Amino acid sequence: MDSLLSITDIKDDVSYILDLACKIKAGEMEEKPLEGKTLAMIFQKSSTRTRVSFDVGMYQLGGRAIFLSSNDLQMGRGEPIYDTAKVLSRFVDGIMIRAIKHEDVVELAEHAEVPVISGLTDLEHPCQALADVLTIKEHFGSFENKKICFVGDGNNVCNSLLLIAPLLGMDMSVACPKGYEPSEEILKTALEYAKENNTEIVVSDDIGVALENVDVVYTDVWVSMGDEAEAKQRKLDFAPFQVNSDLMSLANEGAIFMHCLPAVRGQEVTSEVIDGPQSVIFDEAENRMHAQKAVLYYFMKD
Ligand code: CP
Ligand code: NVA
């Protein structure tokens, strides 16, 4: 069964899904393609955008979604992932899961008999990356000669962007302090994609190097869900990587600012930047729904 746990799962179909998302957003899609279908949504972590956009997205496609907090599920009391996968597969047509551990989602997908879509794990956030590139495409018209720089923590959001950027022909850099680099495994795959697509990937702790010729400056929180115990140290380590007007001035003229949200104003980004004219954060948030409707259609339509 096909699932979306990583951008690598849709390696050859990213452009197709994006085109689908554009059509869906433009209203050029058949009415209610997922009529009668149900999506189970398991959340082991908090969410605003993912929960609401999947719920509304399913509704708009003619189906419905069921919110399942892991606190209330038997899984939260120790029911095996295997049994949960088998049982849910008898009731629903797809499972969306936001999980603490990526391995748990891999296990769920292995045993589910319906598609499993990741709504974030500690390793990746593929639906976010799809919404992000949709936003970039809309803003600039194409990905040609575009470069994105992720500033801060080499986290789940950064990992998915590293995989998707080369697949669309974009260059990418990551500006992060030593010790906070993206996943080695992901970087290895991203470098392979970059080679295949003739694009460049640079990871550096030198902001000046990473910000060379950049069209998109992207950041995310310094303390992701699950990293709270390291908050104090992280705030010290990431301080020089705050996205402020000085840092934005290193990017190309016409560069945009992106953030997956939720954001902490005054930490990873100043109010001046996130609420300023270069920021496209709310278009980006809206695009979660359009991109995910394309994902739901792609994975769940008969
Ligand atoms: N960006 C994102 O996934 O937001 P939520 O945590 O609110 O779902
Ligand atoms: N990196 C953040 C993303 C939140 C959408 C986290 O994992 O908490």
Residue extents of the structural domains in the chain: 7-125+288-300, 126-284
The pLDDT, as a whole number, for residue 1 is: 63
Strands 171-175 and 201-204: parallel
Judge whether 7-125+288-300 and 126-284 match in fold: yes
| Structure-block tokens of residue 96 | 């969306």
Ligand 1 probe mutation, 43, 286, 288, 292, most atoms within 8 A of CB: 288
The CATH number of the domain covering residues in 126-284: 3.40.50.1370
Q: Please give the CATH topology (third level) of the domain spanning 7-125+288-300.
A: Rossmann fold (3.40.50)
CA 154 – CA 157 distance, rounded (Å):
8
Ligand 2 probe mutation, 44, 157, 228, most atoms within 8 A of CB: 157
CA 12 – CA 21 distance, rounded (Å):
16
CA 42 – CA 107 distance, rounded (Å):
14
Q: Tens digit of pLDDT for each residue in 244-297?
A: 999 999 999 999 999 999 999 999 999 999 999 999 999 999 999 999 999 999
Sign of the CA dihedral 62, 288, 65, 263?
negative
Q: Name residues of the chain where pLDDT drops below 50.
A: none
Query: What predicted TM-score, i.e. pTM, was given to this entire model?
Result: 0.98
CA 146 – CA 205 distance, rounded (Å):
21
